[in-house]
Structure 1
Amino acid sequence: MSTEPTPPPGPAPAPGTDSGYASASDAAAARRQPAGAAVLRTEVTEAIRAAVFAELAAVGYGRMSMEGIARRAGVGKAAVYRRWRSKLPLVLDVVSAVAGQGLPAPDTGSLRGDVRAVLGVAARALAHPAVAQILPDLLAEAARGPELAQALRGALRGARGGVVEVVLAQAAERGELPRDVDADLAFGLLAGPLYWTVAVMGGAPTDAELDALASSVAAALRTA
């Protein structure tokens, strides 16, 4: 369980408001708005996303609830449900956003250089303490739930796969690879050994190990 303080309860959400905390004038203004006119405030959305990440690290997917997310975010429960109908799409939204952060498609001028750049960023992400807690938990839950498994695969493939496809296309343009290299195979060659090293064996790869892995992945792609 998290030891972070829980925001104090506020007044009941006013119709049409987003945060769950409203003044009398806000409530009056909200009553004058037509149904469905509530504005989804960006800062509330981001607070909810941050709360999801914290809840996943603290209690795991199985014990996480929409009520707990709202409480940690300091918003009314309705503000969460306005954006996501249940915790599955909410978690997938957050996972997709986090998976895609900090990983622009590299253009180093060589296949090996691009692969090394992707591996370096991915290794740092996997070694983050929160990610190290969240990802194994989500994978364990996915093993028990086909819906989560399918959705999680799609979210991760969409976030990382686009970068892999760019790396492959650039290598093909340079004549380093044929144009029909399978992107899923390339993604597996990149992610599999790295996840094994960081998440399963519990060690952060050194620069020399990442260099060697990049050379191996590039060589494997050339013969794929």
Structure 2
Amino acid sequence: MTTNADDTRTPRRRAPAGAAVLREDVTEAIRSAVFGELAAVGYARMSIEGIARRAGVGKTAVYRRWRSKLHLVLDLVSAVAVQGLPAPDTGSLEGDLRLLYEVTARALRHPVAGQIIPDLQAEAARSPEIAEALQKALREGQQGAASGIVAAAAARGEVRGDLDEDLALDLISGPLYWHSVVVRAPKPPASYLPSLARATAAALRAL
């Protein structure tokens, strides 16, 4: 029988009446359990009960943090999407793009990208709610980094100041995502990312 390892107590200070103190170790255990459940059974068959059982906590501990499995999974996808994305400052558009691609390529080889995102994309085809939330989660991380690169390039005079930001984001993020997640091609050769950065920089200058 699992016990609710979540807590409403602290050893020295009392929380305000009615407030729940959410232990970080419990939160991390739940997040780890989600990866395990998704890999084992997929999104459609995953349940809050299964997550709680794998994490060694009660269902209440999960629901205190996320109101549904969709919100829990999207929270993790969002975290991985933005984790480690740099604010490049190499002094050149091509250099900034290459740094972004190096970090993004590592992120796309993460289990979230390799297993979980394709699974969620299949669910998104059946659920507008999942489709909208997944698009937002994946786009936000890349959009912040790409916008910074374009703004810095414009300030240096490498691209037009009125560059279409949505088109720029598609040019920057699309090829690597297609290669790694959609086609799921093997790890590219060492020359691929520098070549991609060079080609993307040329395309952005031409806009």
Q: TM-score, normalised by structure 1?
A: 0.82
Match in the other structure for 2:45: 63
Match in the other structure for 1:208: 191
Match of 2:6 among 7, 18, 23: 18
Report the structure number with the largest CA radius of gyration.
1
Q: How does 1:1-224 map to 2 (within 5 A)?
A: 9-11=1-3, 13=4, 18=6, 36-199=18-181, 200-224=183-207
Which runs of 5 or more residues in structure 2 are unaligned? none
Structure 1 stretch 120-129 or stretch 67-76: which is displaced more?
Answer: 120-129
Describe the superposition over 1:8-47 as per-residue Cα deviations: whole angstroms up to 9, x where unpaired: x334x4xxx726xx9xxx7xx9xx9886332111111122
Q: Partners of 2:180 and 2:195 in 1: how far apart?
A: 15
Which runs of 5 or more residues in structure 1 are unaligned? 1-8
Q: Partners of 1:122 and 1:51 in 2: how far apart?
A: 24
Q: Partners of 2:168 and 2:83 in 1: how far apart?
A: 20
Describe the superposition over 1:79-119 as per-residue Cα deviations: whole angstroms up to 9, x where unpaired: 00011111111111111111111112111110011111111
Q: Partners of 1:192 and 1:170 in 2: how far apart?
A: 20
RMSD across aligned positions (CA): 2.3
Q: Partners of 1:34 and 1:174 in 2: how far apart?
A: 52
Q: TM-score, normalised by structure 2?
A: 0.88
Equivalent residues, number: 203
Report percent identity of matched pairs.
62
Q: Partners of 1:93 and 1:110 in 2: how far apart?
A: 33
Q: Partners of 1:109 and 1:85 in 2: how far apart?
A: 44
Conserved in 2, the CA contact under 8 Å of 1:57 and 1:130?
no
Structure 1 stretch 208-217 or stretch 186-195: which is displaced more?
Answer: 186-195
Q: Give the match's secondary structure for 2:70.
A: helix
